[in-house]
Structure 1
Amino acid sequence: MTAPLPPPRLLPSGDAAITVEFGRAIDEWANRRVLALDRALADTPIDGVTETVPTYRSLLVHYDPVRIGFDELGERLTALARLPIQPTTEVRRWRIPVVYGGEYGIDLEDLARTLNSTPDDIVARHVAGDYRVAMIGFTPGFSYLSGLDDSLQMPRRQNPRLLTPSGAISIGGRQTGIQCLAGPSGWHLIGRTAVRTYQLHRDPVFLLEPGDAVTFHAVDSRQFIEQDRAAARGEFVAKLVTP
């Protein structure tokens, strides 16, 4: 019989939410426990829970305090969190096109120099990665991906940019990411995708979900422009890959 997992840390978040914390740092195992608890709550809903928000190392659980109290909810969340993690039988795998370097990835050459490599080698290693969506956050659709090759890890920029383009593919620390909307960023921009991970009037609004698998493939600027037009019409552009 599999031993129960160690209990998480419960933190009150205002008067109507609990943070269920599984660790203090970015950690693959902690993130798997976060997503496992999120799935358990979806499969066996607790009356009074209104929303869950998974992050790298914790799950924020919103609840209605009129229907369930902090102590009771905490006990039930702890019990669920200590159950052995069941293997995920169905994982969606997305193949996402990226145009690398040049005006689309303005930090690629500097990154290659810093890592004593070449732009082509950086691209090859990035494309070879097998990534997993650890969380969605910061801005709508921004997808934080775990699984970055150790050789590509790079501290964030000392001077963040106030504006970076939509669709930016970037590296920040131990992560790579897909930025959907234009906005500020301290990550290193290596490419750009036409894929809209968030599109308000599309169904589904969010394309990627925590737990999804992601691989990248390189395209040229002409293909990017064609894909960008298609994505603007609401097409996914990213492909679901069958196992």
Structure 2
Amino acid sequence: MRYYMLGERTLVIESRPPVSLSVQQRIWGLAQQVVHEPGVAEVIPGMNNLTIQLHAIPPSQQSAIAQLKAWWQAAKSFVPESRNIEIPVIYGNAAGPDLRSLAEKVGLTPKQVVEAHSAERYTVFFIGFQPGFPYLSGLSPSLACPRHKTPRLSVPAGSVGIAGSQTGIYPLTSPGGWQIIGQTSYLLFDETREAPFLLRPGDTVRFIPHKDGLC
């Protein structure tokens, strides 16, 4: 694990790659533990990392890092209540403009990419970037592909993409650099719902190829 400070009042703990569900469960447990500690203003779980904002500047960086290490040593894993969510996806063509080029980059056919992407059961590690944007762990290493060097100015809401070793879904139309391989009609974020986010950390997700796409 790496322990460091960002600025004067922010602590960060992060695991070195590759990402791990067991580490993420301990991150969730640590977040639940330290949010009640005196002096802690906010905790922000990420992908195998946790950011802790303090109310005041600590006496020294060394003492703050020592406290962070002690919290981690005492942290217990937390497994949140999980739901299994199936999300229909239209793969390829206008819905997935990067499917064919991604397939070429990873040495597969577009159909093989769809089969590999929809075969996995993914875990939501955290929600970030946009309201309701799920960062999903579990992508097959055979599909790993870098982001675009130049992001698109507009990626439609519902776009399913790949970036590095992660896959995710854009809840809102926005600029973005992920490789877009499909699109879902499901609303990932709806402020009119009692629970605005469709997904939450700990949920598992499966993508179901829609008959109108490239199957």
- Mark yes or no: TM-score above 0.5: yes
**Root-mean-square deviation over aligned CA pairs:** 2.8
Aligned residues: 211
1:99 equivalent to 2:90? Answer yes
- How many Å apart are 1:74 and its aligned residue? 5.4
Cα 1:194–1:50 shift into 2, 3 Å: farther
Contact 2:98 2:181 in 1 (8 A): yes
CA distance in 1, matches of 2:131, 2:208: 23
1:63 equivalent to 2:77? Answer no
Residue ranges of structure 1 left out of the alignment (5+ in a row) = 1-7, 223-243
TM-score by length of 2: 0.82
Contact 1:96 1:214 in 2 (8 A): yes
Alignment equivalent of 2:19, drawn from 27, 43, 53: 27
Contact 1:143 1:178 in 2 (8 A): yes
Cα 1:90–1:136 shift into 2, 3 Å: closer
CA distance in 2, matches of 1:119, 1:88: 35
In structure 1, what is the equivalent of residue 135 of structure 2?
Answer: 144
Amino acid at match of 1:177: G
Identity %: 35
- How many Å apart are 1:84 and its aligned residue? 6.2
Q: How do 1:196-207 residues align onto structure 2 when only pairs under 5 Å count? A: 196-207=187-198
Amino acid at match of 1:31: Q
SS of equivalent residue, structure 1 residue 81: helix
Amino acid at match of 1:101: G
SS of equivalent residue, structure 1 residue 27: coil
SS of equivalent residue, structure 2 residue 33: helix
Alignment equivalent of 2:11, drawn from 18, 28, 40: 18
TM-score by length of 1: 0.74
CA distance in 2, matches of 1:200, 1:158: 32
Contact 1:143 1:208 in 2 (8 A): yes
Q: How do 1:44-63 residues align onto structure 2 when only pairs under 5 Å count? A: 45-63=36-54
SS of equivalent residue, structure 2 residue 43: strand
CA distance in 2, matches of 1:123, 1:106: 13
Contact 1:35 1:210 in 2 (8 A): no
In structure 2, what is the equivalent of residue 184 of structure 1?
Answer: 175
Cα 1:114–1:22 shift into 2, 3 Å: closer
CA distance in 2, matches of 1:182, 1:129: 26
Amino acid at match of 2:202: G
Amino acid at match of 1:104: A
In structure 2, what is the equivalent of residue 213 of structure 1?
Answer: 204
- How many Å apart are 1:13 and its aligned residue? 3.1
Contact 2:25 2:77 in 1 (8 A): no
Amino acid at match of 1:19: V
In structure 1, what is the equivalent of residue 33 of structure 2?
Answer: 40
